């Protein structure tokens, strides 16, 4: 680049938000440099992404290699998803090194992945829109203004109506029994069930053909094999893999513009600013640490987009010594996620489904949902047994099941961690189990959020401390929604229902720690640091009412890219 700039725009992070911003900016002809802390799977320049440093950067779709991706993504849940040594962990590419540290004060955990694609590598790809009421509550942007951006992402990703398998069939049977009705709305104002809008390509049309060779499948389309969470690699090339993590969607689209360069294994440890009379304080460069070599470099750009996620974005702000703002890191929402599960008897399953088992490992990990504006949302899910057991039986703020007495009015039979012989008995019924994950609408509170540990640091700066406390109103909504999910299981015929009762500081939907209107203006540009934009879940004004947040962040990133061009690159080509 001219004038000593390394790029027009630097994007920090290549997850749900950053990859979208990069593609949109690249399409306008801007030179974009993405700095990603984790590895890049399925790229020939990193033939052994977890054991050797590989190249510095890649900027071409010619480097992407579906065979390599299939080698990297083994479909084995410990190899892929282990929180400490898995390929989808928050840590450096080299798995012989420990993960990066976070401090979660009350027993929760953070479910996030480093790597090109970020946490979309492991997400279920559920892509609902926010509830309009949630926008009316806290957003300075109207819901109507968001609709064209939603449509843009829904067409590009693309988002498709999911294909149900047994677990959804059973869930929807229960939802009907409860008296709920199907909704064809996408902008939800009242309760209803529907098939998920998923960022997953339609089903491979040859799937039911017994002569079709699944082993050597080179066709486009989902094969219902249930590995969304373990890393999907089904497709003829990287850009047409069925589950649309940004690794296989917005990243290839970004590379196709010819204007986007991506450096994985590059942890940004500081954002630097300049100052002039016209703009005041403005962002102009970043410090980057290579996670393999420890080499430190500095890159300059005209605009910086912060897309490091709701924990690292505020952490980076604070570690960079950017101006004090009482809302940086504050206002964390998590959807206070919880799980309930029910075990069914064979004869009941035969009657309802015409088959004796639910088989939770079959089909898209979640293909149906129940939306309940005012309370949140819940959805059936099923995964391989390790992850599935940790979610429904292994995570609780209420101790072990034998320490809890269930009250008459509660729809579940047991609450807490299932252990011992009962765990084995329940897991023996894994194939007759329907699991539901519940996302409740939690209010923004300034008490909740991310701060820095005052003493302890790692190679990337002071360590983030995550603190979350549930309010009485939040708890009430959560209990009510979990109760509905448990009742659905009972109505569907479950013989025994368990509630996990997760600690509310489990961070899987991590949102609103750098909110529009408090840290940024409505263009998502930081009030106090010009030329610094935010494009990740942290900029969301609240928890959207309960729906999974990625689609909204992606829609907003499209809008933010537009605003960046309008303000700082007005002569960039029209799309």
Partner 1 sequence: MAENRDGLKDGLWDENSVYDYVVNTIKAYADAMVPHSPDLAELYGRIQFYGAVESYTAEYLIMSLDSYPTPFAVAAAELLNMAAKQYLMEKGEDPDLPKDSGGLYFSKLSQEDRLKIVDRISSPGGIIYVPAGLTMKQEDIVPVMSALNRLTMMGYYSEWSGYGSTRFMSPDKRMLEYQPIGWEQVGYPGPSKGYRIAGAFNFAQKK
Residues 224-263 that bind partner 1 (CB under 8 A): 224-227, 230, 234
Residues from 489 through 548 that contact partner 1 (CB under 8 A): 503
The binder of partner 1 chosen from 25, 69, 311, 417 (CB under 8 A): 417
Q: Which is nearer to partner 1, 72 or 554 (CB)?
A: 72
Kindly indicate which of the ranges 19-27, 28-36, 107-115, 371-379 contains the residues binding partner 1, using the contact rule CB under 8 A: 107-115
Shortest separation between residue 8's beta carbon and partner 1, angstroms = 37
Total interface residues for partner 1 by CB under 8 A: 93
Beta carbon of residue 193, minimum distance to partner 1 (angstroms, whole number): 10
Contact predicate 451/464, CB 8 Å: yes
Per-residue tokens: 202: 């339609």
The smaller minimum CB distance to partner 1, of residues 424 and 446, is found at 424
Partners of residue 275 on adjacent β-strands: 281
**Run of H or E residues at 274:** strand 266-276
- Cα-only R_g, the chain: 23
- Considering only residues 465 through 484, tell me which ones interact with partner 1, judged by CB under 8 A: 465
Tokens 């008296």 sit on residue: 179
The whole-angstrom separation of Cα 456 and Cα 399 is: 30
Among 210, 294, 454, 570, interactor with partner 1 by CB under 8 A: 210
CB of 216 to partner 1, least distance (A): 9
Assign residue 232 a region: left if phi > 0, alpha if psi is -120 to 50, beta otherwise?
Answer: beta
Name the packing angle between helices 166-177 and 472-492 (round to 10°).
100
* Element at 572 (helix H, strand E): none
Residues 63-102 that bind partner 1 (CB under 8 A): 74-79, 81-86, 95-96, 98-101
Residues 115-134 that bind partner 1 (CB under 8 A): none
- Binding test (CB under 8 A) with partner 1, winner from 141, 427, 445, 572: 427
Q: Does 350 bind partner 1 (CB under 8 A)?
A: no
Of residues 279-338, those binding partner 1 (CB under 8 A): none
Piece of 137-145, 158-166, 323-331, 407-415 that binds partner 1 (CB under 8 A): 158-166
Measured from the CB atom, the residue of 149 and 393 that comes closer to partner 1 is 393
* CB closer to partner 1 out of 155 and 208: 208
Whether the Cβ atoms of residue 364 and residue 224 lie closer than 8 Å to each other: yes
Please tell me the distance from the alpha carbon of residue 450 to that of residue 331, in angstroms, as a whole number. Answer: 9
Residue 163 binds partner 1, judged by CB under 8 A: yes
According to CB under 8 A, which one of 365, 395, 513, 553 is a site residue for partner 1? 395
Cα-Cα-Cα-Cα dihedral sign, residues 473, 477, 483, 487: positive
Contacts of 145 (CB under 8 A, 6+ apart): none
Among the listed residues 30, 69, 104, 229, the single contact to partner 1 using CB under 8 A: 104
| Residues 274-280: contacts with CB under 8 Å, at least 24 apart | 279/530, 279/531, 280/530
Stretch that binds partner 1, among 39-47, 279-287, 384-392, 478-486 (CB under 8 A): 384-392
Q: Which of 297, 283, 308 is nearest to 18 (CA)?
A: 308
Among 192, 309, 329, 363, which residue interacts with partner 1 (rule: CB under 8 A)?
Answer: 363
Query: In this complex, which beta carbon is closest to partner 1, that of residue 457 or of residue 573?
Result: 457
Q: What is the DSSP string of 530-568?
A: BTEEE-SGGG-SS-TTSS-SHHHHHHHHHHHHHHHHHHH
Pairing of strands 376-381, 433-440: antiparallel
Q: Which residue, 275 or 403, has its beta carbon nearer to partner 1? A: 403
CA distance 100 to 456: 12
What SS3 class is residue 232? coil
Residue closer to partner 1 by CB (options 85, 528) is 85
In the window 30-59, what residues touch partner 1 (CB under 8 A)? 48, 50-51
Q: Given the complex with partner 1, which of 90 and 150 has the nearer CB atom?
A: 90
The CB-of-291 to partner 1 minimum distance in angstroms stands at 14
How, if at all, do strands 532-534 and 296-306 pair?
parallel
Helix pair angle (550-568, 18-27), 10° resolution: 40
Find the shortest distance in angstroms from Cβ 160 to partner 1: 13
Applying CB under 8 A, which of residues 385, 406, 562, 567 lies at the interface with partner 1? Answer: 385
Residue 203 pairs in a beta bridge with 222
Counted residue by residue, the chain has a size of 575
Q: What is the DSSP letter of 152?
A: H
Candidate ranges 4-12, 61-69, 211-219, 548-556; the one touching partner 1 (CB under 8 A): 211-219
Residue 105 binds partner 1, judged by CB under 8 A: yes
Residues 6+ apart with CB under 8 A from 240: 201, 220, 248
Instruction: Specify the stretch interacting with partner 1 by CB under 8 A; choose among 18-26, 35-43, 105-113, 522-530.
Output: 105-113
Among residues 208, 293, 405, 571, the one that binds partner 1 under rule CB under 8 A: 208
Burial state string for 223-254 with b = 16 or more CB within 10 A and e = fewer than 16:
bbbbbbbbbbbbbebbbbbbbbbbbbbbbbbb
Q: Is 570 in the site for partner 1 (CB under 8 A)?
A: no
Scanning the structure block, which residue is given the tokens 């008490």? Answer: 447
Instruction: Identify the residue among 55, 141, 147, 195 touching partner 1 (CB under 8 A).
Output: 195
> Which of residues 503 and 549 has its CB atom nearest to partner 1 in the complex?
503
The answer to whether residue 190 forms part of the interface with partner 1 (CB under 8 A) is: no
Residue with smaller CB distance to partner 1, 392 or 535 = 392
232 vs 254, which CB is nearer to partner 1? 232
Smallest separation (angstroms) from partner 1 to the CB of 77: 5
Cis bond upstream, residue 400 (ω within 30): no
Residue pair 412/465 in contact (Cβ under 8 Å)? The answer is no
Q: Residues 6 or more apart from 199 whose CB is under 8 A from it? A: 125, 126, 127, 157, 158, 159, 160, 243, 244, 245, 249, 550, 551
Judged by beta carbon, residue 71 or residue 287, the one nearer partner 1 is 71
Residue 114 Cβ, how far from partner 1 at the closest point, in Å? 15
Nearest approach, Cβ of residue 99 and partner 1 (Å):
7
Mark the segment that binds partner 1 (CB under 8 A) among 18-26, 325-333, 362-370, 551-559. Answer: 362-370
């Amino acid at each position: 680049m001219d004038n000593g700039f390394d790029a027009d725009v630097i994007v920090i992070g290549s997850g749900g938000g950053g990859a979208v911003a990069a593609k949109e900016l690249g399409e306008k002809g801007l030179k974009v440099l993405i700095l990603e802390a984790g590895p890049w799977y399925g790229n020939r320049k990193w033939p052994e992404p977890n054991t050797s440093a590989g190249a510095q950067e890649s900027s071409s779709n010619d480097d992407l290699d579906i065979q390599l991706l299939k080698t990297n993504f083994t479909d084995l849940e410990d190899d892929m998803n282990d929180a400490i040594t898995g390929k989808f962990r928050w840590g450096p590419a080299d798995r012989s090194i420990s993960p990066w540290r976070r401090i979660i004060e009350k027993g929760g955990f953070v479910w996030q992945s480093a790597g090109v694609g970020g946490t979309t590598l492991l997400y279920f790809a559920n892509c609902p829109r926010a509830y309009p009421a949630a926008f009316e509550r806290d957003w300075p942007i109207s819901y109507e203004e968001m609709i064209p951006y939603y449509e843009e992402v829904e067409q590009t990703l693309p988002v498709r109506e999911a294909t149900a398998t047994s677990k959804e069939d059973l869930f929807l049977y229960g939802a009907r029994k409860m008296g709920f009705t199907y909704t064809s709305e996408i902008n939800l104002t009242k309760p209803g069930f529907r098939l998920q809008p998923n960022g997953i390509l339609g089903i491979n049309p040859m799937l039911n053909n017994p002569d079709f060779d699944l082993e050597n499948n080179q066709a486009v389309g989902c094969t219902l094999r249930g590995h969304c969470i373990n890393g999907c690699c089904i497709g003829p090339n990287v850009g047409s893999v069925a589950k649309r993590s940004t690794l296989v969607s917005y990243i290839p689209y970004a590379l196709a513009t010819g204007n986007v360069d991506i450096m994985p294994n590059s942890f940004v440890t500081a954002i630097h600013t300049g100052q002039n009379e016209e703009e005041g304080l403005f962002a102009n460069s970043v410090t980057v640490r290579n996670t393999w070599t420890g080499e430190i470099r500095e890159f300059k750009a005209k605009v910086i987009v912060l897309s490091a996620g709701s924990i690292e974005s505020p952490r980076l702000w604070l570690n960079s010594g950017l101006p004090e703002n009482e809302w940086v890191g504050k206002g964390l929402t998590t959807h206070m996620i919880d799980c309930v599960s029910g075990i069914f008897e064979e004869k009941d399953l035969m009657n309802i489904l015409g088959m004796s088992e639910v088989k939770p490992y079959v089909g898209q990990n979640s293909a149906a949902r129940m939306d309940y504006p005012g309370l949140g949302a819940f959805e059936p899910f099923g995964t391989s047994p390790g992850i599935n057991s940790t979610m429904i039986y292994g995570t609780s703020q209420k101790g072990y099941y034998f320490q809890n007495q269930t009250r008459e009015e509660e729809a579940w039979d047991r609450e807490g961690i299932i252990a011992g012989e009962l765990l084995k008995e329940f897991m023996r019924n894994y194939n007759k189990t329907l699991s539901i994950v519940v996302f409740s609408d939690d209010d923004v509170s300034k008490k909740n959020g991310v701060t820095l540990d005052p003493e302890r640091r790692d190679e990337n700066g002071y360590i983030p401390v995550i603190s979350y406390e549930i309010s009485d109103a939040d708890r009430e909504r959560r209990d009510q929604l979990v109760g509905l999910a448990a009742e659905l299981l009972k109505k569907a015929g479950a013989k025994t229902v368990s509630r996990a009762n997760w600690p509310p500081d489990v961070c899987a939907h991590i949102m609103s720690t750098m909110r529009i209107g408090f840290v940024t203006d409505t263009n998502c540009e930081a009030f106090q640091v010009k030329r610094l934009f935010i494009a990740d879940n942290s900029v969301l004004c609240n928890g959207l009412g309960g729906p999974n947040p990625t689609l909204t962040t992606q829609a907003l990133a499209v809008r933010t890219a537009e605003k960046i061009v309008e303000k700082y690159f007005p002569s960039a080509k029209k799309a």
